[in-house]
Amino acid sequence: MKILASVDFSTTSESILKVTKTYAQKLGAEVFLIHTEPVPTDRSDEDYDIKPESMRLRRDALSLEKAGVKTTPVFLQGPTCETILSEALRLKVDLIITGAHGHGGANCKVSLGHISECILFGSKIPVLVVPV
């Protein structure tokens, strides 16, 4: 089994990592830990390996590895939702894990952020949304 877990390094990311670790351990799954960023307009910043986000992604992947979960960090640039969905299809994952960032009021039945909603409703693969 393969899991794609999307992190953005917000406060929700820690919850996503915990849920991903639990599911991966119980299912014996391989994890692809993905972080996406918009394509920069300034091409002078092309050394992605030393970007703080790339280093954080590798550190988070290493923590899952230490817990016995085979993990591959995936740092991509492009439109966030579309990039995550296309990578999930390319990798042939069985589950996508993402976080809910919505700020809905008391009348909202579902409180999702824009990216989470796009992934949830745009995916042909099952999606697990981790609440904040």
CB 128 within 8 A of CB 95: yes
Query: Could you report the per-residue pLDDT of 60-84, keeping only the tens digit for each?
Result: 999 999 999 999 999 999 999 999 9
Query: Could you report the per-residue pLDDT of 103-118, keeping only the tens digit for each?
Result: 344 444 454 678 889 9
pTM equals 0.86
Partners of 33 in the β-ladder: 5, 73
pLDDT score recorded for residue 10: 86
- CATH code: domain 2-130 is 3.40.50.620
Nearest to 123 by CA among 4, 37, 11: 4
Task: Quote the CA–CA distance of 85 and 122 in Å, as a whole number.
Answer: 8
pLDDT score recorded for residue 101: 67
pLDDT score recorded for residue 109: 47
Better-scored residue on pLDDT, 10 or 72? 72
Task: Quote the CA–CA distance of 88 and 130 in Å, as a whole number.
Answer: 18
